Structure 1
Amino acid sequence: MITENQKEIISKSNILVTGGAGFIGSNLCETLLECGARVKCLDNLSTGHEENLENIIDNPRFQFVKGDIRNLETCQKACDDMDFVLHEAALGSVPRSLKDPITSNEVNVSGFLNMLVASKENKVKRFVYAASSSTYGDSESLPKEEDKIGKPLSPYAITKYVNELYADIFNKSYGLNTIGLRYFNVFGRKQDPNGAYAAVIPKFVMQFMAHESPVINGDGTYSRDFTYIDNVLQMNLLALTSDDPNAVNEVYNTAVGDRTNLLELTQLLKEYLSDFDAEISNIEIKHGPNRPGDIPHSLASIEKAEKLLGYKPSHKIKEGLKEAVDWYWKNLK
């Protein structure tokens, strides 16, 4: 957990959040403002939403800039006078990258490189970026440890691995301090349930609330290290403020260190949603084919983050799901 000294560092800082109107980015903006920071949000609103910012848009310490990280000049202006950068902007989704690898590469690689250049030129103190558990690729070892990866299984996974390589080179060549956070299946408030590439938890929640049967890809035994948003927020704050020189210029699993298969997940969702609507408990689950590019199992080792950053997950899957379901029912029903 972050210390009072770390909160003080944040309170005195100017912080840029790219992709700040998205799910993770908007939660980061809110948390940073609560800590007293001055926050700038850069987002082109292609997958983010202005309504995610409605609670903070009038805050005098908050600035929203509509712009695209694929434009270097936009990135340079956004980084002007910033102490830290939290780079969340990306085109997520393995299926999206398989359908359109060119756009995924433009945003996730060229856009990432633009942000590194802009951060270097504006002498940003630290560049913390969203990496991905997809980088583990076809590695079958469990739990996943940061220094043991396999071959990527999708264009998206390639782009996120390239991010790590570029961040490392920018540290070694230009002295830019970076930290990569390999997110593992993040879920929680503000995660978009709509669209072709919606994440499984908000998508299933919305289907249950509409009394529709969710479709599990495969037999439901594929498992994931589902990670509640508050754990991700904690990791970002720790990465921003750690004063341990051994903790910087590293990548970290951002997860819980536990795994849940899709059958277990849907049963938990049914249970928690049935507290609001008893009929949901009777909805049947359907099954479809496995998705191309999906890995069967994902489980993170969080020992490195615990040791070097002082990370302590605040929410396991059940606590996180209960809070997420409550938020969706109150806000989207």
Structure 2
Amino acid sequence: MSVRLLITGGAGFIGANLARSALSAPGIAHVRVLDDLSTGTREALRGVDVEFVLGSLLDDTALRRAVRDRDAVIHLGALPSVPRSVRDPVASHHANATGTLLLLQAARRADVGHVVVASSSSVYGANPALPKDELDWTRPLSPYAVSKLATEAYALAFASTYQLATLAFRFFNVYGPGQRHDHAYAAVIPRFVYAALRGEPVVYQGDGRQSRDFTYVDTVCSVLLDAVRRRVTHAHPVNLALGSRVDLVTVVGELERILDRPITVRHETPRPGDVRHSEASGVLLRQLFPEVRAVPIADGLVATVDWFQTFVTGPAGSAVAVDRVPAAPVEVVDQVGTVRRTVARTRSC
């Protein structure tokens, strides 16, 4: 069966990579993206021939337009970042919890056959167990984590109550080419790579020994697309990571090896809401997706550094415009309009 796919949050880092992968994936007939561009960018989808709907999950008109005639939805739309949620918990709740509820309701009314949602490893919070198993207890430490727990709970509740086929993934720390460094809530790897290429200090929020299960974006995209092609469901959330826990000191060491020079480090106060260590048990993921393969952190960092050198800093580390590859003008699309993009590929964010 060919899948007509909707990606919410498709102009963001993971979403744009996913849209690009979907266009060349077998079994995907058509790709539509819904994004309000609050954190994503139009430039992320340049050269990606998708149908684009500009609008929020909280906008009923845009949401109904987005879910119409879809076979499956991959729901990535969210307001990310633990620190952002600490500063504005209500905004995170509206975007992540209420937005997911409205999407599921719209999908059910439009007879969408399958909905995959993105939760987060942050839901484990204060649980010290390593690795994290999907049946371990959860104790969120931030409003963002609470909103993601609501995201997965709503998806599973709709499966139980309304027989909507759903699958909830708990994303861990996704990284790779196209991830933005240039905003207040940027993830750690793009911040480290950009600073290192510029010859600036990288900043540890603490001692640098905090660890994460870093997952390369191509791995995430391949699992998501396999899930919608095979219409995979499960009664519990599924960790989308493979037990590859690495601390930040090791990440910097790998960057020093790749760049062949030392990197200066600066320490700052740990951030409220952050967990000390995070690692997935990949047992359930491998059972459901036996073809999944982990990308070693060294290989993923090489690809990420290469992307930054090509599109962000330049080969010598001097800043260049990200949109340095010429492209046709990007059309502005209203909440019920669509556009087909056929210009040359530039970047994904």
TM-score (norm 2): 0.86
Q: How does 1:267-286 map to 2 (within 5 A)?
A: 267-274=253-260, 281-286=261-266
Give unpaired runs (5+ residues) of structure 1.
1-8, 275-280
Q: How does 1:32-43 map to 2 (within 5 A)?
A: 32-35=22-25, 36-43=28-35
Equivalent residue number for residue 140 of structure 1? 128
Work out whether residues 54 and 62 of structure 2, in 8 Å CA contact, stay in contact via their aligned partners in 1. no
Q: How does 1:87-98 map to 2 (within 5 A)?
A: 87-98=75-86
Matching residue's letter, 2:22: L
Equivalent residue number for residue 332 of structure 1? 312
Equivalent residue number for residue 106 of structure 1? 94
Work out whether residues 215 and 294 of structure 2, in 8 Å CA contact, stay in contact via their aligned partners in 1. no
Q: Higher relative contact order by CA 8 Å / sep ≥ 6: 1 or 2?
A: 2
Once the two structures are TM-superposed, the CA of residue 304 in structure 1 deviates from its matched residue by 0.3
Matching residue's letter, 1:68: S
Equivalent residue number for residue 28 of structure 1? 18
Work out whether residues 167 and 178 of structure 1, in 8 Å CA contact, stay in contact via their aligned partners in 2. yes
| Alignment of 1:237 onto 2:225 | yes
Instruction: Pick the structure with more helix per residue.
Output: 1
| Alignment of 1:47 onto 2:39 | yes
| Alignment of 1:258 onto 2:250 | no
Once the two structures are TM-superposed, the CA of residue 314 in structure 1 deviates from its matched residue by 4.1
Q: How does 1:186-265 map to 2 (within 5 A)?
A: 186-242=174-230, 247-265=233-251
Q: Distance in 2 between matches of 1:200 and 1:316?
A: 17
Work out whether residues 137 and 149 of structure 1, in 8 Å CA contact, stay in contact via their aligned partners in 2. no
Q: Distance in 2 between matches of 1:90 and 1:229?
A: 17
Once the two structures are TM-superposed, the CA of residue 176 in structure 1 deviates from its matched residue by 0.7
Give the match's secondary structure for 1:250.
Answer: coil
Once the two structures are TM-superposed, the CA of residue 204 in structure 1 deviates from its matched residue by 1.2
My pick for the range that moved more, 221-230 or 251-260, is 251-260
Identity %: 40
Equivalent residue number for residue 341 of structure 2? none
Once the two structures are TM-superposed, the CA of residue 249 in structure 1 deviates from its matched residue by 4.0
Following TM superposition, the consecutive aligned residue runs of length 4 or more in structure 1 with deviations greater than 6 angstroms are none
TM-superposition CA deviations, 1:209-246 (whole Å, max 9, x none) = 221101101111101101100110122022213356xx
Give the match's secondary structure for 2:208.
Answer: coil
Matching residue's letter, 1:264: T
TM-superposition CA deviations, 1:290-333 (whole Å, max 9, x none) = 11111111111111011123242241211111111111111111
Q: Distance in 2 between matches of 1:282 and 1:135?
A: 35
| Alignment of 1:300 onto 2:292 | no
Work out whether residues 156 and 168 of structure 2, in 8 Å CA contact, stay in contact via their aligned partners in 1. no
Once the two structures are TM-superposed, the CA of residue 284 in structure 1 deviates from its matched residue by 1.4
Matching residue's letter, 1:64: F
Give unpaired runs (5+ residues) of structure 2.
314-349
